[in-house]
Amino acid sequence: MTALPYSPLMHGARCHECPLYGEGTVVPPSGPLDAPIAFVNDSPSYHDLRAREQLSGTAGIKFDEMLWGIGYRRNEVWKTSAILCRFQVPGLEGKKRYQLTSYMAWLRKMNAERKRVDQPPRPSPFECCKPRLDAELKVLEEAAKARGAPNGVVVQPLGPYALKYVAGAAQGKPASIQKYRGSVIQVPAP
Protein backbone atom coordinates (compact mmCIF):
# COMPACT_ATOMS: atom_id res chain seq x y z
CA MET A 1 0.00 0.00 0.00
CA THR A 2 1.35 3.48 -0.76
CA ALA A 3 1.06 6.69 1.19
CA LEU A 4 -1.67 9.14 0.25
CA PRO A 5 -1.25 12.90 -0.25
CA TYR A 6 -1.48 14.37 3.23
CA SER A 7 -3.72 17.07 4.63
CA PRO A 8 -3.99 17.43 8.43
CA LEU A 9 -7.56 18.67 8.11
CA MET A 10 -8.46 15.59 6.06
CA HIS A 11 -7.43 13.40 8.97
CA GLY A 12 -9.21 15.19 11.81
CA ALA A 13 -6.64 17.62 13.21
CA ARG A 14 -8.25 20.65 14.79
CA CYS A 15 -5.84 23.03 13.06
CA HIS A 16 -8.16 26.04 13.21
CA GLU A 17 -8.11 25.85 17.06
CA CYS A 18 -4.35 25.37 17.35
CA PRO A 19 -2.00 28.14 18.52
CA LEU A 20 0.34 27.08 15.69
CA TYR A 21 -2.35 27.56 13.00
CA GLY A 22 -1.11 29.58 10.05
CA GLU A 23 2.58 29.13 10.80
CA GLY A 24 3.07 27.14 7.58
CA THR A 25 5.47 24.75 9.25
CA VAL A 26 3.77 21.35 8.80
CA VAL A 27 6.02 18.31 8.45
CA PRO A 28 3.74 15.53 7.18
CA PRO A 29 3.95 11.91 8.30
CA SER A 30 5.31 9.40 5.84
CA GLY A 31 5.56 5.70 5.19
CA PRO A 32 3.31 2.91 3.97
CA LEU A 33 -0.22 2.87 5.37
CA ASP A 34 0.22 -0.82 6.15
CA ALA A 35 3.53 -0.39 8.01
CA PRO A 36 4.12 -2.92 10.79
CA ILE A 37 5.73 -0.27 13.05
CA ALA A 38 4.81 3.38 13.68
CA PHE A 39 7.37 5.71 15.23
CA VAL A 40 5.85 8.75 16.91
CA ASN A 41 8.15 11.67 17.69
CA ASP A 42 7.15 14.58 19.96
CA SER A 43 7.40 17.27 17.28
CA PRO A 44 9.34 18.05 14.11
CA SER A 45 12.88 19.37 14.43
CA TYR A 46 14.54 22.13 12.45
CA HIS A 47 16.07 19.48 10.17
CA ASP A 48 12.67 17.81 9.70
CA LEU A 49 11.20 21.14 8.62
CA ARG A 50 13.99 21.81 6.12
CA ALA A 51 13.80 18.29 4.67
CA ARG A 52 9.94 18.09 4.91
CA GLU A 53 10.54 14.59 6.33
CA GLN A 54 10.03 13.24 9.85
CA LEU A 55 13.16 12.13 11.73
CA SER A 56 15.80 13.87 9.60
CA GLY A 57 19.21 15.35 10.35
CA THR A 58 21.38 13.82 13.06
CA ALA A 59 18.36 12.17 14.69
CA GLY A 60 17.47 10.72 11.27
CA ILE A 61 20.92 9.18 10.90
CA LYS A 62 20.58 7.51 14.32
CA PHE A 63 17.02 6.48 13.45
CA ASP A 64 18.18 4.84 10.20
CA GLU A 65 20.97 3.00 12.06
CA MET A 66 18.48 1.74 14.63
CA LEU A 67 16.10 0.60 11.87
CA TRP A 68 18.89 -1.32 10.13
CA GLY A 69 19.64 -2.99 13.46
CA ILE A 70 16.12 -4.42 13.64
CA GLY A 71 15.92 -5.31 9.95
CA TYR A 72 13.87 -2.41 8.56
CA ARG A 73 14.42 0.55 6.28
CA ARG A 74 12.96 4.03 6.55
CA ASN A 75 10.51 3.46 3.67
CA GLU A 76 9.04 0.38 5.44
CA VAL A 77 7.86 2.10 8.64
CA TRP A 78 5.43 4.91 9.49
CA LYS A 79 7.04 8.10 10.79
CA THR A 80 4.94 10.79 12.44
CA SER A 81 4.91 13.25 15.33
CA ALA A 82 2.43 13.95 18.12
CA ILE A 83 2.24 17.45 16.58
CA LEU A 84 3.14 18.04 12.94
CA CYS A 85 4.00 21.75 13.11
CA ARG A 86 7.31 23.29 14.10
CA PHE A 87 6.82 25.74 16.98
CA GLN A 88 8.78 28.79 18.11
CA VAL A 89 8.51 30.56 21.46
CA PRO A 90 7.76 34.24 20.81
CA GLY A 91 10.27 36.58 22.40
CA LEU A 92 13.00 33.99 23.03
CA GLU A 93 16.28 33.70 21.15
CA GLY A 94 18.72 30.84 20.74
CA LYS A 95 18.08 27.16 21.38
CA LYS A 96 15.40 27.75 24.06
CA ARG A 97 13.21 29.28 21.35
CA TYR A 98 12.75 25.81 19.87
CA GLN A 99 12.62 23.69 23.04
CA LEU A 100 9.31 21.96 23.61
CA THR A 101 9.39 22.53 27.36
CA SER A 102 9.91 26.28 26.74
CA TYR A 103 7.02 26.36 24.30
CA MET A 104 4.64 24.57 26.67
CA ALA A 105 5.65 26.91 29.54
CA TRP A 106 4.99 29.91 27.26
CA LEU A 107 1.57 28.48 26.33
CA ARG A 108 0.65 27.99 30.01
CA LYS A 109 1.72 31.58 30.72
CA MET A 110 -0.26 32.88 27.74
CA ASN A 111 -3.35 30.96 28.89
CA ALA A 112 -2.99 32.40 32.41
CA GLU A 113 -2.96 35.88 30.86
CA ARG A 114 -6.01 35.04 28.75
CA LYS A 115 -7.84 33.81 31.86
CA ARG A 116 -7.14 37.13 33.64
CA VAL A 117 -8.90 39.04 30.85
CA ASP A 118 -11.81 36.57 30.62
CA GLN A 119 -10.70 34.96 27.35
CA PRO A 120 -10.87 31.20 26.88
CA PRO A 121 -7.54 29.34 27.00
CA ARG A 122 -5.96 28.08 23.80
CA PRO A 123 -5.66 24.30 23.61
CA SER A 124 -2.19 22.81 23.31
CA PRO A 125 -1.04 21.80 19.84
CA PHE A 126 -0.96 18.22 21.15
CA GLU A 127 -4.68 18.31 21.98
CA CYS A 128 -5.43 19.76 18.52
CA CYS A 129 -3.34 17.13 16.73
CA LYS A 130 -4.49 14.13 18.80
CA PRO A 131 -7.53 13.34 16.58
CA ARG A 132 -5.19 13.28 13.57
CA LEU A 133 -2.70 11.01 15.34
CA ASP A 134 -5.52 8.71 16.46
CA ALA A 135 -6.81 8.51 12.87
CA GLU A 136 -3.33 7.62 11.56
CA LEU A 137 -2.88 4.89 14.16
CA LYS A 138 -6.36 3.54 13.45
CA VAL A 139 -5.54 3.13 9.73
CA LEU A 140 -2.29 1.34 10.62
CA GLU A 141 -4.11 -0.85 13.18
CA GLU A 142 -6.78 -1.87 10.67
CA ALA A 143 -4.10 -2.74 8.10
CA ALA A 144 -2.25 -4.84 10.70
CA LYS A 145 -5.41 -6.76 11.59
CA ALA A 146 -6.23 -7.25 7.88
CA ARG A 147 -2.84 -8.90 7.31
CA GLY A 148 -3.34 -11.15 10.34
CA ALA A 149 -1.08 -9.46 12.91
CA PRO A 150 -2.74 -10.65 16.15
CA ASN A 151 -1.35 -7.80 18.27
CA GLY A 152 -1.89 -5.05 15.70
CA VAL A 153 0.62 -2.41 14.74
CA VAL A 154 3.61 -1.74 16.99
CA VAL A 155 3.64 1.92 18.07
CA GLN A 156 6.94 3.28 19.39
CA PRO A 157 6.78 6.72 21.05
CA LEU A 158 10.08 8.59 20.84
CA GLY A 159 9.55 11.20 23.53
CA PRO A 160 7.52 12.07 26.62
CA TYR A 161 4.76 13.96 24.78
CA ALA A 162 4.47 11.23 22.16
CA LEU A 163 4.16 8.68 24.98
CA LYS A 164 1.54 10.78 26.74
CA TYR A 165 -0.69 11.22 23.69
CA VAL A 166 -0.23 7.73 22.24
CA ALA A 167 -1.07 6.11 25.58
CA GLY A 168 -4.17 8.28 25.90
CA ALA A 169 -3.16 10.15 29.05
CA ALA A 170 -4.06 13.59 27.71
CA GLN A 171 -4.21 15.25 31.13
CA GLY A 172 -1.30 16.27 33.34
CA LYS A 173 2.41 16.35 32.71
CA PRO A 174 4.02 13.89 30.30
CA ALA A 175 5.54 10.85 31.95
CA SER A 176 9.25 10.25 31.86
CA ILE A 177 9.82 8.06 28.83
CA GLN A 178 12.77 6.49 30.70
CA LYS A 179 10.29 5.03 33.19
CA TYR A 180 8.64 3.06 30.37
CA ARG A 181 11.77 2.02 28.46
CA GLY A 182 11.41 -1.60 27.35
CA SER A 183 7.80 -1.82 28.55
CA VAL A 184 4.75 -2.90 26.60
CA ILE A 185 1.92 -0.44 27.07
CA GLN A 186 -1.62 -1.35 26.16
CA VAL A 187 -2.82 1.56 24.02
CA PRO A 188 -6.51 2.43 24.10
CA ALA A 189 -8.27 1.86 20.78
CA PRO A 190 -8.41 5.12 18.77
> Using CA atoms, how far apart are residues 5 and 30, in angstroms rounded to an integer?
10
Residue range 133-177, pLDDT digits in tens: 988 888 898 898 898 888 888 888 888 888 888 876 544 555 666
pLDDT band of residue 1 (cuts 50, 70, 90) is very low
> Using CA atoms, how far apart are residues 87 and 137, in angstroms rounded to an integer?
23
Q: Considering the entire predicted model, what is its pTM?
A: 0.85
pLDDT band of residue 5 (cuts 50, 70, 90) is very low
Residue range 69-117, pLDDT digits in tens: 999 999 999 999 999 998 888 888 888 888 888 899 999 999 999 999 9
Residues forming a β-bridge with 6: none
Q: Delineate the domains of the chain, giving CATH numbers in brackets.
A: 12-166 (3.40.470.10)
Residue range 58-82, pLDDT digits in tens: 999 999 999 999 999 999 999 999 9
pLDDT (mean) for 35-51: 91
- Give the 3-state DSSP-derived string for the chain, with helices as H, strands as E and coil as C: CCCCCCCHHHHCCCHHHCCCCCCCCECCCECCCCCCEEEEECCCCHHHHHHCCCCCHHHHHHHHHHHHHCCCCHHHCEEEECCCECCCCCCCCCHHHHCHHHHHHHHHHHHHHHHHCCCCCCCCHHHHHHHHHHHHHHHHHHHHHHCCCCCCCEEEECCHHHHHHHCCCCCCCCCCHHHHCCCCCCCCCC
